[in-house]
Amino acid sequence: MAGEKKVVGLNPTLGEVERAAREGDTAVLLKALEDASLEVRNAAVEALGQVGGERAKVALMSVARDRRGERPEVRISALGALEGVHSVERYASILEEFITGDSRKVVAAARRMLESVDPEGYPLRLVERRCLDHAAISVYGRAGVEAAVRLLSGFVTDRMEAGDLTDTGNWGKVYAATRALGRIGGDEAGRTLQALLDWLSSAGGQGGKWLEKERLSKIRDAARASIEKAGKG
């Protein structure tokens, strides 16, 4: 209504959450997870991470996994709060569940958290989850992850066999995978790059429309440069 003031600090539900957080009242915090207010739910999630305990662990996992009923912002807060109730290794394993196959916001946040808690193991965890988006492929190339070669090679080979290499959803990733293979190097990477060049020289790799030819040309240039980096030129 006009003239009404919303004073967040005096909101009784939020105030109760704050009190429960100070006193470790898990029951109130669990009830607050059902509140209609995004702010209250977020506050409850953060408080549960501070209070800890088995009930908090279960509740935070439930919120984090609630793809249909909860907002990404609250789910991300739950993922962050889980760090306070688990060991580093267990927390990293939990985050793995969310680094692919979820909303973009959740995936991006989970990856940032995972890279922060396990920077050395992060690239391999992406490989184990078979992540093949642009961001993951870039990580493989920058980190020189040999374990990613088979994954990248398989992706490039599948695209050649399917003949959909120039599709909008594929060509950019093929281009990135080609560059990553050059940075990683090795025999298998070299064989894949040579097979790609051979395919691009064949009738199937010539393209029809201007856009297809343009995309194939960029991939061809990347493949040639990558073969030199891989020591296969």
Residue 186 within any structural domain of the chain? yes
Q: Measuring CA to CA, which residue among 113, 121, 165, 156 is closest to residue 139?
A: 121
- Is 127 within 8 Å of 147 (Cβ atoms)? yes
Q: Measuring CA to CA, which residue among 37, 120, 93 is closest to residue 79?
A: 93
Q: Are residues 134 and 233 in the same domain?
A: yes
Using alpha carbons only, how large is the chain's radius of gyration in Å? 24
The torsion angles phi and psi of 192, rounded to 5 degrees, stand at -65, -45
The CATH number of whichever domain residue 73 belongs to comes to 1.25.10.10
Q: Which of 57, 89, 119 is the last residue of a domain?
A: 119
Q: Are residues 112 and 142 in the same domain?
A: no
- Residue 203 DSSP symbol: G
Q: Are residues 152 and 115 in the same domain?
A: no
Q: Measuring CA to CA, which residue among 149, 153, 158, 160 is closest to residue 184?
A: 149
* pLDDT confidence of residue 233: 43
Q: Are residues 86 and 133 in the same domain?
A: no
> What range does the domain containing 21 cover?
11-119
* pLDDT confidence of residue 204: 63
Residue 22 within any structural domain of the chain? yes
Q: Are residues 168 and 97 in the same domain?
A: no
Q: Which of 70, 95, 119 is the last residue of a domain?
A: 119
Q: Are residues 102 and 186 in the same domain?
A: no
**CA pair distance 217, 201, nearest whole angstrom:** 11
Lookup: tokens for 119:
């920077």
Q: Are residues 27 and 109 in the same domain?
A: yes
Q: Which of 69, 96, 119 is the last residue of a domain?
A: 119
Residue 211 within any structural domain of the chain? yes
* pLDDT confidence of residue 7: 34
Handedness of CA 19, 23, 25, 30 (dihedral sign): positive
Q: Are residues 114 and 197 in the same domain?
A: no
**CA pair distance 84, 91, nearest whole angstrom:** 9
Q: Are residues 194 and 213 in the same domain?
A: yes
Residue 144 within any structural domain of the chain? yes
* pLDDT confidence of residue 206: 67
Q: What is the mean pLDDT of each run of 10 residues along the chain (233 residues)?
A: 34 80 93 92 95 96 95 97 95 97 97 97 97 97 96 96 91 96 94 94 71 90 89 52
* Domains held by the chain: number: 2
Residue 99 within any structural domain of the chain? yes
Residue 134 within any structural domain of the chain? yes
Q: How far is CA 66 from CA 7, 49, 54, in A?
A: 30, 17, 18
